[in-house]
């Protein structure tokens, strides 16, 4: 039997709306020597039932402890020489995997890569539009990307995998701890979804807030008062952040009321996330 070249690992937590499209997008890749591993992080919806319908997909069941732990679990059980980490709300162009691993196969000095273009495919939704149309720009992505999408399994395990303490940013572990950046692979376009409701915007922001890792949040005395300071300055902060976001996106037409509502949800979601981290030590969804 031919050895498996690529193991695609997807952590899931209540992804019943998106996981099917992600899997279908991977099953039609031009690179066929792959395995797809779904590591479910304790979903309470129909995610597991949907995944089980795909005969060519491996499902690993886990407890709700965050995507970092799920990614590491998938890596340990993977058969592929190269690991690929993607999200459940992503879809991919046909040659995505083929082009993503090409630099790794071509050079012994490259241990991992990331994609060069990540575009949002649900900008018809007003809240997604407020978030932005592009996450990774083809021109700006080079040199700035710190998320490993593909990496040699041997190197991944040698470096200890992703550190779950970084929460939302666990896939940036190797840059945070070792200052290692992935090589940006050419012609690797993927499509991502932004949150489509204010509730979803709030929850995503809460997760991001709980995963922030700046110097102030690591100072024992100061970090305890940050949530209270954020509440005090919230009125002016929300207005200023809304103006900045509208300006950056050139979306003045939706400034009132949509951008203001969007930033309000993001602000207080982030505030709750920081509070969770500071007082309860929780940094996952």
| 238-250 pLDDT tens trace | 999 999 999 999 9
Q: How far apart are CA 81 and CA 79, in angstroms?
A: 7
pLDDT at 86: 98
Cβ atoms of 142 and 270 closer than 8 Å: no
Secondary structure class of 31 (helix, strand, coil): coil
Q: How far apart are CA 161 and CA 165, in angstroms?
A: 12
Cβ atoms of 115 and 96 closer than 8 Å: yes
Cβ atoms of 246 and 262 closer than 8 Å: no
Secondary structure class of 181 (helix, strand, coil): coil
Identify any residues that bridge with 184 across adjacent strands, giving them in sequence order.
114
Cβ atoms of 24 and 18 closer than 8 Å: no
Identify any residues that bridge with 82 across adjacent strands, giving them in sequence order.
6, 152
Where helices occur in the chain by DSSP H, the ranges are: 19-27, 47-52, 67-77, 96-106, 126-131, 153-158, 173-178, 198-210, 226-232, 234-249, 260-275
pLDDT at 137: 81
Which residue in 254, 258, 266, 121 sits closest to 199, CA to CA? Answer: 266
pLDDT at 55: 93
pLDDT at 215: 85
Residue 5 preceded by cis peptide, ω within 30: no
Distances (CA, A) of 110 to 96, 105, 156: 18, 8, 13
Q: What share of the chain in percent tops pLDDT 90?
A: 90
Which residue in 193, 194, 149, 197 sits closest to 174, CA to CA? Answer: 149
Cβ atoms of 187 and 94 closer than 8 Å: no
pLDDT at 143: 57
pLDDT at 221: 85
Residue 257 preceded by cis peptide, ω within 30: yes
pLDDT at 245: 98
Cβ atoms of 113 and 101 closer than 8 Å: yes
Q: Which residues of the chain have pLDDT under 70?
A: 1, 138-143
Cβ atoms of 103 and 110 closer than 8 Å: yes
Distances (CA, A) of 265 to 112, 164, 201, 207, 258: 35, 25, 6, 13, 11
Length of the chain: 285
pLDDT at 281: 86
Structural domains in the chain plus CATH codes: 6-192 (3.90.550.10), 198-280 (no CATH)
Distances (CA, A) of 19 to 38, 39, 46, 47, 85: 9, 12, 10, 7, 14
pTM above 0.75, yes or no: yes
């Amino acid at each position: 039997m031919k050895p498996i070249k690529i193991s695609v690992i997807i952590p899931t937590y209540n992804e019943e709306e998106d996981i099917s499209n992600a899997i279908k997008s991977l099953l039609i890749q031009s690179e066929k020597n792959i395995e797809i591993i779904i590591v479910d992080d304790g979903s309470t919806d129909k995610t597991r039932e949907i995944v089980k319908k795909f005969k060519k997909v491996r499902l690993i069941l886990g407890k709700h402890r965050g995507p970092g732990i799920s990614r590491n679990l998938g890596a340990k059980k993977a058969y592929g020489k190269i690991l690929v980490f993607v999200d459940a709300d992503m879809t991919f162009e046909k040659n995505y995997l083929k082009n993503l691993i090409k630099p790794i196969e071509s050079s012994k000095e490259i241990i991992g890569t990331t994609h060069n273009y990540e575009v949002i495919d649900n900008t018809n939704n007003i809240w997604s539009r407020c978030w932005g149309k592009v996450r990774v720009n083809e021109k700006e992505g080079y040199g700035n990307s710190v998320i490993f999408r593909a990496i040699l399994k041997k190197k991944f395990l040698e470096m200890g995998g992703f550190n779950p303490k970084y929460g939302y940013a666990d896939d940036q572990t190797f840059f945070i701890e070792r200052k290692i950046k992935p090589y940006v692979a050419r012609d690797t376009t993927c499509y991502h979804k932004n949150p489509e409701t204010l509730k979803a915007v709030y929850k995503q922001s809460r997760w991001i807030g709980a995963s922030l890792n700046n110097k102030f949040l690591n100072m024992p005395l100061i970090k305890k008062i940050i949530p209270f300071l954020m509440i005090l300055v919230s009125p002016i902060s929300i207005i200023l952040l809304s103006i900045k976001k509208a300006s950056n996106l050139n979306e003045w037409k939706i400034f009132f009321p949509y951008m203001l509502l969007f930033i309000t949800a993001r602000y207080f979601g982030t505030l709750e996330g920081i509070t969770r981290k500071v007082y309860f030590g929780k940094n996952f969804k």
